[in-house]
Amino acid sequence: MQQWEKPWSLRTSICVKKEKDRLFYLGIYPGMQIRKLRSAPMQDPCLYFAAGNQLILRNKDAACIEGEVLE
């Protein structure tokens, strides 16, 4: 299950497959936790909380993040 397909407020452990450098500069790196906070009316983009920051990612960028549900 991709990160953007997951329901609200689930925390995941991140394993970045593609776009590793770009996501790293945004503060998303392997092993951290990320949580989906909100979704736009058309489901793209979505607001995420990671490492004390709020990030807005489009679904195509969030699709590069895989993880497992921690909660």
Domains of the chain: 3-69 (2.30.30.90)
Distance CA 16, CA 8 (A): 20
**What would the DSSP string read from start to end of 35-56?**
EEEEE-TTS-SEEEEETTEEEE
Give 62's pLDDT tier (boundaries 50, 70, 90).
confident
Lowest mean per-residue pLDDT among 8-12, 17-21, 22-26, 33-37: 8-12
Query: What mean pLDDT do residues 44-60 have?
Result: 89
The residue whose two tokens read 């590793």 is 20
Q: How much is the mean pLDDT over the chain?
A: 79
pLDDT of residue 67: 76
The count of C-alpha atoms lying within 13 angstroms of the C-alpha of 48, restricted to the half-sphere facing its C-beta, is 30
Per-residue pLDDT reduced to its tens digit, 10-21 = 567 677 776 778
pLDDT of residue 44: 86
